[in-house]
Chains A and B, each alone.
Chain A
Amino acid sequence: MKPAPFDYLRADDEEEAVAALAEAGDDARLLAGGQTLMPMLNMRLVEPAVLIDISRLPGRAGIEDDGTLIEVGAAATQASLEAWPPLSARAPLLARALPLIGHVQTRSRGTVCGSIAFADPSAELSLCLATLGGEVVLRSRAGTRTLPAAAFQTGMLSTACRADEMVAAVRFPAAEPGAGYAFTEFARRHGDFAIVAVAAIAQENGIRIGVGGACERPVVQDWPPLAGSALDDALDALAWSLDAADDHHASARYRRELVRGLGKRAVQAAQETRP
């Protein structure tokens, strides 16, 4: 459980990082919090020629709120977002999801952008970004482009990020007035990846629901206001539409059941938390 040899470059600024990335391309890996990459290196599941450490990029460790979007930089840890004082007022969905991500130890190293970039189908942050309709800022030597979440995550562990690009920041839409937010998930143990996770946003004129863990990437749907059996029917249709898969931990059928049940809990909780 020792990595293969690699070169290590700690980027002093973003230009240096993207220049190195342009040079090494597929042979490079970006190291931020290392919570996924380090085990993969140690298991020799990846053997990059060079590691580009972006964990100390100046100006990318912070959280900026421009009134509409909350931008989290590439070096910002999950713990720093969790500890951001206005979090529960400005991003209530994230405030509910963050404590469910791993453990306090992994959050103190793991970055928000690293989780989005890795694109695990069960990742709480990817689900929040997709449900909120956020965006991802990609930076390369050629310049900067911004993709909506739905265009960024293309499948299981796969994204639209090119080999010469880094996720420089992600932007979460700030809380909307009159909206209620809820996040619920089921995991085997405290801190485990969710078998199914559901994010819900309730507004006066509709419901938005996002489901993670059940299939390759988060699925988001917008519904009119629903309750009772109409809500059950919508959740049932959603559950069947996901094309959930069997694996070592759970069957597809079990996942559908969780989508129905957790979905109902999440939607109702979101409706109840509307101001």
Chain B
Amino acid sequence: MSTLGTARERVEDAALLMGRGRYIDDMPTAPGTGHAAILRSPHPHARLLEIDAAAALALPGVHAVVTGADARAWSTPFLVGVRQPMEHWCIATDRVRYAGEPVAVVVAEDRYRAEDALALIDVRYEPQPAIVDPEAALGPDAPALHEAMGGNLVSERDFRYGEPEAAFAQAPHTVTTTVRYPRNTCTPIECLGLIAAYDPGEGVYDVLSPFQGPMTLHPVMARALKVPGPRLRLRSVPESGGSFGVKQALFPLIVAMALAARKAERPVKWIEDRLEHLLAATSATNRVTRIEAAVEGDGRIAALRLDQLEDCGAYLRAPEPATLYRNHGNLTGPYRIAHLAVTNRVVLTNKTPTGLNRGFGGPQLYYALERLMQRIAVTLDLDPLDVIRRNLVAGDAMPYRAAAGAVLDAGDFPATLDYGASEGALDALRAKRDAARAEGRLYGIGLAAAVESSISNMGYITTVLSAEERRKAGPKDGAVSHATVAVDPLGAVTVTADSMPQGQGHRTVLAQVVGDALGLAPEQVTVALEHDSQRDPWSIAAGNYSSRFAGAVTGAAHLAAVRVREHLARIASQRLNCPAEDVRFEDGRIFGAANPENDLDFRRVASLPHWSPGSLPDGVPPALRETARWTPPELTPPTDDDRVNSSAAYGFIFDFCGVEVDRLTGAVTIDRYVTTHDAGRRLNPALVDGQIRGAFAHAVGAAFYEELAYADDGSFLSGTLADYLVPTTCEVLDPLILHRDVPSPVTPLGAKGVGEGNCMTTPVCLANAVADALEAAIPDLPLTPARIAAVIHGPEGAPPTEAPPGR
């Protein structure tokens, strides 16, 4: 019996629950390994005049101090995704542009001593005015972060699909809203960390870390280190303490610590602490979006206009501005909107550079789009469910080419919406709201719908370039994944892949996938995913991001396993005297379909290519090992008119919720939350639901608690977990999760990504509910009690003039 599609306990968990997980900080180090600490800029913007490290170097136990001078000697600035004269070095050279930017690295005998030495480094800064607001950063008087660029605008592109002007001119209604999505992050339990070494004999940098890809960054790092790719060996650790995209931000530190290891002439271990992490690791982009719809009287949207201003922080750090373009093809979400106008601007400010973060562009996009849907319903006095339903792409229109190029692969969005509304008892929730309001309580219902994009097209980011620039640069597209299935001399099966998991349970699912193809129990399949860039197959799309595992990596593993099965079938067919296509694999046995009793042991057949390659049928390779590469042909480069299928698969989500707002405190209680997913074929339903719950918890944080906040002068305000508030289990209710699956025709197993969707839908669904409860305009996220209270409390009376009654 195949276990594919059934809930299985995770093979990873036994080690984790017994405290035997091997994380980066647990990994053995070579004798003499130094420990690094980073001196970080206290200024959001300053010229770097002089660094005197003599006192630090004189401290016993200090091995080396690495500065921008070393970066200049041994490295180059990182490549950036747009043509701009911007230099981003792994360690600041002549200017710092955000509070927390690395200025020097100390390598010492232990971390304590390294931190002692930080205090002894004398840095002379000349502070410059800082700019944190993205709109203000565009002003003519705003201080320029990169002098050679002139201003802070790094990219501006206009896109036009269909006839948006005509549609706006004809439509009876125009509904507009402007939203400001804040900075936040996904706060993995384990911060960044690595062990870097340099072999001067071979000129090889060797870095062990929980880096998760994308491996497009490998060439970026190798180039910065001025070595050919194979001389930057990246190895991944067995376990990662969570990432949600955040560990992509290891890459500049990998380069900095590679230089530190070279200068200190010893391996260097660096474990980021929470203060560093919050201050300077990474962030989701903050985005200002003005969104406008041309609307018919019944709520149908004829055209959409988006003006997106993306704030990427102090440097455009690869792969940015990918956050802005990841959903470019599906900017119209799950809706049938033929006419679309888009202005995209990317601006730099004196804040930590941005990068991958669960949802990656989806939270920002859908916060604008689904707030707009709610505004349309309110403005036209329509049922918000009807407004969503009337605009959804119809089930029989699939696959559907969206205005900006996304090919929505499969699904019946209206049917899924109706299923969620009825199974989740939306009507009962409405009755509850009416009853609560009759009692004078502030109760609201929110809705949100989205397509959840997965398996990113490696070419989507080039949409930031003009068609002519793209022609010059050459085509970019696809999303290659690799997996290898090998059979050992005793017939045991091993799987490796380029998935670089961060705790999701990839080993569990791959064992199910390969076991399914070979008729084996998952326990009989060993999965090893520690990746080594020098020895394991990979391409630029490799890694753990864009929810690509379920569709892409399992697809490659399935194809590799099927190839192994085909070889084994040919071997078995000789012994079973039946055609190879009639050979069946089940429960560790191999037999002909017509005669199941006459069976062979899987291991005997599977070991033969090792022991007797000479007796194999023609075309069956010796010592069975198959590596499959898969890339979806649907992922083509952007067209000359800027249409791009930015992802391979598109799941569908429909959420609704009921919330109550406390009139005194402004605190929001989530009363009920229902989230309905079409994630395609679910390979392990328990892990799917785990992903949904995790994204939901992150989204509750984004909606109500979390913001990487800066003061106007650029100083950072969220430096500890007492300032950056992450919801705990006490604050996150368990949502009702519903499924209505339509398999993807694009991925080999029909799965679509599912890891990020609720980060896209839940913040806006909750915000829509708060707006419904308050029946008023709402403040920006996070919707803190104090911000909500400012809406409901109204004007405050004057202080009393009489003396208080007693003391």
**Interface of chain B residues 294 through 343 with chain A (CB within 8 A):** none
For residue A178, give the distance in angstroms from its CB to the closest CB of chain B: 20
Stretch at the interface among B109-117, B207-215, B220-228: B109-117
- Residue in A186, A189, A222, A248 whose CB lies within 8 Å of B665: A186
The answer on a CB contact under 8 Å between B789 and A1 is no
Indicate whether A221 reaches chain B with its CB closer than 8 angstroms. yes
Q: A1-B274, A43-B275, A257-B789 are in contact. Are A189 and B807 (CB under 8 A)?
A: no
Q: How far is the CA of A262 from the CA of B785 in the complex (A)?
A: 14
The answer on a CB contact under 8 Å between A254 and B789 is yes
Interface string of B767-805 (1 = CB under 8 A from A): 000000000000000001110011001001101101111
Q: Count how many pairs of residues, one from A and one from B, have CB atoms less than 8 Å apart in the complex.
A: 93
For residue A148, give the distance in angstroms from its CB to the closest CB of chain B: 15
- Residue in A241, A254, A261 whose CB lies within 8 Å of B786: A254
- Residue in A189, A238, A258 whose CB lies within 8 Å of B804: A238
Indicate whether B671 reaches chain A with its CB closer than 8 angstroms. no
Q: A44-B115, A188-B725 are in contact. Are A234 and B805 (CB under 8 A)?
A: yes
The answer on a CB contact under 8 Å between B116 and A4 is yes
**Interface of chain A residues 222 through 275 with chain B (CB within 8 A):** 222-224, 226, 230, 233-234, 236-238, 240-241, 248-251, 253-254, 256-258, 261-262
For residue B63, give the distance in angstroms from its CB to the closest CB of chain A: 17
Q: Which residues of A contact B709 (CB under 8 A)?
A: 248
The answer on a CB contact under 8 Å between A248 and B727 is no
Q: How large is the interface on B (under 10, 10 to 19, 20 to 34, 35 or more residues)?
A: 35 or more
Among A1, A191, A224, the one with the most B-chain Cβ atoms within 10 Å of its Cβ is A1
Q: Which residues of B contact A241 (CB under 8 A)?
A: 804
For residue A188, give the distance in angstroms from its CB to the closest CB of chain B: 6
Q: How far is the CA of A115 from the CA of B728 in the complex (A)?
A: 23
The answer on a CB contact under 8 Å between A189 and B725 is yes
For residue B497, give the distance in angstroms from its CB to the closest CB of chain A: 35
Indicate whether B490 reaches chain A with its CB closer than 8 angstroms. no
Q: Which residues of B contact A4 (CB under 8 A)?
A: 115-116, 119
Q: A254-B790, A258-B664, A261-B665 are in contact. Are A236 and B797 (CB under 8 A)?
A: yes
Q: Which residues of B contact A256 (CB under 8 A)?
A: 796
- Where chain B touches its partner, the secondary structure class is loop
For residue B793, give the distance in angstroms from its CB to the closest CB of chain A: 6
**Interface of chain A residues 1 through 46 with chain B (CB within 8 A):** 1-5, 43-44
Q: Considering only CB atoms, which chain A residue lies closest to B799 in the complex?
A: A240
Q: How far is the CA of A189 from the CA of B732 in the complex (A)?
A: 11
Q: Which residues of B contact A221 (CB under 8 A)?
A: 804, 806-807
- Residue in A1, A188, A238, A262 whose CB lies within 8 Å of B664: A262
The answer on a CB contact under 8 Å between A257 and B664 is yes
Indicate whether B273 reaches chain A with its CB closer than 8 angstroms. yes
Q: Considering only CB atoms, which chain B residue lies closest to A42 in the complex?
A: B273
Q: How far is the CA of A190 from the CA of B726 in the complex (A)?
A: 11
Indicate whether B730 reaches chain A with its CB closer than 8 angstroms. yes
Q: How far is the CA of A240 from the CA of B800 in the complex (A)?
A: 8
The answer on a CB contact under 8 Å between A190 and B805 is no
Q: Considering only CB atoms, which chain A residue lies closest to B273 in the complex?
A: A1
The answer on a CB contact under 8 Å between B112 and A3 is yes
Indicate whether B51 reaches chain A with its CB closer than 8 angstroms. no
Indicate whether B667 reaches chain A with its CB closer than 8 angstroms. yes
Q: How far is the CA of A4 from the CA of B112 in the complex (A)?
A: 7
Indicate whether B731 reaches chain A with its CB closer than 8 angstroms. yes
The answer on a CB contact under 8 Å between B805 and A237 is yes
Interface string of A39-57 (1 = CB under 8 A from B): 0000110000000000000
Q: How far is the CA of A261 from the CA of B728 in the complex (A)?
A: 26
Q: How far is the CA of A251 from the CA of B786 in the complex (A)?
A: 7
Indicate whether B717 reaches chain A with its CB closer than 8 angstroms. yes
Q: How far is the CA of A249 from the CA of B273 in the complex (A)?
A: 24
Indicate whether B705 reaches chain A with its CB closer than 8 angstroms. yes
Q: Which residues of B contact A257 (CB under 8 A)?
A: 664, 789, 793, 796
The answer on a CB contact under 8 Å between A258 and B665 is yes
**Interface of chain B residues 86 through 117 with chain A (CB within 8 A):** 111-112, 115-116
Q: Which residues of B contact A226 (CB under 8 A)?
A: 805
Q: A221-B807, A223-B805 are in contact. Are A237 and B800 (CB under 8 A)?
A: yes
Q: How far is the CA of A261 from the CA of B802 in the complex (A)?
A: 20
Indicate whether B723 reaches chain A with its CB closer than 8 angstroms. yes
Q: How far is the CA of A240 from the CA of B796 in the complex (A)?
A: 11
Q: Which residues of A contact B275 (CB under 8 A)?
A: 1, 43
**Interface of chain B residues 223 through 253 with chain A (CB within 8 A):** none
Q: A2-B111, A43-B275, A248-B717 are in contact. Are A188 and B799 (CB under 8 A)?
A: no
**Interface of chain A residues 170 through 206 with chain B (CB within 8 A):** 186, 188-193, 195
Q: How far is the CA of A2 from the CA of B370 in the complex (A)?
A: 45
Q: How far is the CA of A189 from the CA of B785 in the complex (A)?
A: 11
Q: A2-B112, A190-B731, A261-B665 are in contact. Are A224 and B806 (CB under 8 A)?
A: yes
Interface string of A46-88 (1 = CB under 8 A from B): 0000000000000000000000000000000000000000000
Q: A2-B111, A254-B789, A256-B796 are in contact. Are A188 and B705 (CB under 8 A)?
A: yes
The answer on a CB contact under 8 Å between A222 and B806 is yes
Q: Which residues of A contact B731 (CB under 8 A)?
A: 189-190
The answer on a CB contact under 8 Å between B664 and A189 is no
Q: Which residues of A contact B722 (CB under 8 A)?
A: 192-193
Q: How far is the CA of A1 from the CA of B271 in the complex (A)?
A: 10
Q: How far is the CA of A206 from the CA of B730 in the complex (A)?
A: 37
- A-B residue pairs in contact (CB < 8 Å), sample of 10: A1-B273, A5-B112, A192-B725, A195-B786, A223-B805, A223-B806, A241-B804, A249-B784, A258-B665, A261-B664
Measured CB to CB, the residues of A under 8 A from B are: 1-5, 43-44, 186, 188-193, 195, 221-224, 226, 230, 233-234, 236-238, 240-241, 248-251, 253-254, 256-258, 261-262
Measured CB to CB, the residues of B under 8 A from A are: 111-112, 115-116, 119, 273-276, 664-667, 705, 709, 717, 722-723, 725, 727-728, 730-731, 784-786, 789-790, 793, 796-797, 799-800, 802-807
Closest 7 CB pairs of A and B: A1-B273, A237-B804, A190-B730, A261-B664, A240-B799, A250-B786, A2-B112
Apart from A221-B806, A230-B805, A261-B664: 7 A-B pairs, beta carbons within 8 A:
A1-B275, A4-B115, A189-B705, A192-B725, A240-B800, A257-B664, A257-B796
